[in-house]
Amino acid sequence: MTAASKGGMFVAGLVLGLLLAGGLAATWHRHRVPPQTPTPPVDKRIRVLVCGDCMVGMSCPYLAALLPESYVVTQEAENTQTSTSILAHIQEYILGRQPDVLVLDCGVHDLTRLKPDQPPETAPELYDATLRQILKLVRRYSPHTRIVFIPIAPTIGDAWEANYPRKSISAYNALAEQACQDFHVAVFPLPDAVKAEKDGIHPTDSGYEALARGLRDWIVADQAAPAGK
């Protein structure tokens, strides 16, 4: 065998060895590297968060059913109780969720008097300061969130007057309206159908549905409005 033949056989063997090594490496790579998990699709629906007492809590299922499919409605709890409770859990309830729309409702449990001769659960000055802090934190840490505040519905009859005085309802609503005005937050006008007809303090199912319909109309119109309006 000539030197040239030996050289050719050497080169051919080297090429074959490289091809085999490459094939084995590719086979090993296919079996060793786990398949990549597909990135889940981004949920582009408008996120509506309901946070407040049973007035909005009981309206939430109606609101979820009434809004278009481009919206998703969630709530932290059916009743988040007082303003101080919301502030204490604001990261869990609101900020950590970064909603597009926040339906906020607090006040009736703040003004509650367990006994006629006892002070309210939350003094007016503390309620005012707490609500302002809630609005301030949402504005700072979730600036894109559109907020709509639900005022306290008036009671009917005298059965609850000792625990939920009408004078207190008016006073706490006035504090909330001023705070909302200062933070450029919309105050939702309660529809006439939202009355405490069930037991003097809670609306009937038709009242909760009426509230949800009104909120649906406000949210859809607000989202359709040009930015900055």
pLDDT of residue 135: 98
Tell me the HSE value of 186 on the side-chain side, using a 13 A CA sphere: 16
pTM: 0.80
DSSP H stretches of helix in 2-69: 3-32, 54-57, 60-66
Q: Where are the domains of the chain?
A: 46-224
Where is mean pLDDT largest: 15-29, 116-130, 186-200?
Answer: 116-130
Q: Rounded to whole angstroms, how far apart are CA atoms 58 and 75?
A: 10
Q: pLDDT averaged over the chain?
A: 84
Q: How confident is the model at residue 69 (pLDDT cuts 50, 70, 90)?
A: very high
Q: How far is CA 25 from the centre of its chain?
A: 51
The residue-averaged pLDDT of 71-99 equals 92
What topology does CATH give the domain 46-224? Rossmann fold (3.40.50)
pLDDT at residue 20 tops 50: no
Q: Rounded to whole angstroms, how far apart are CA atoms 106 and 134?
A: 11
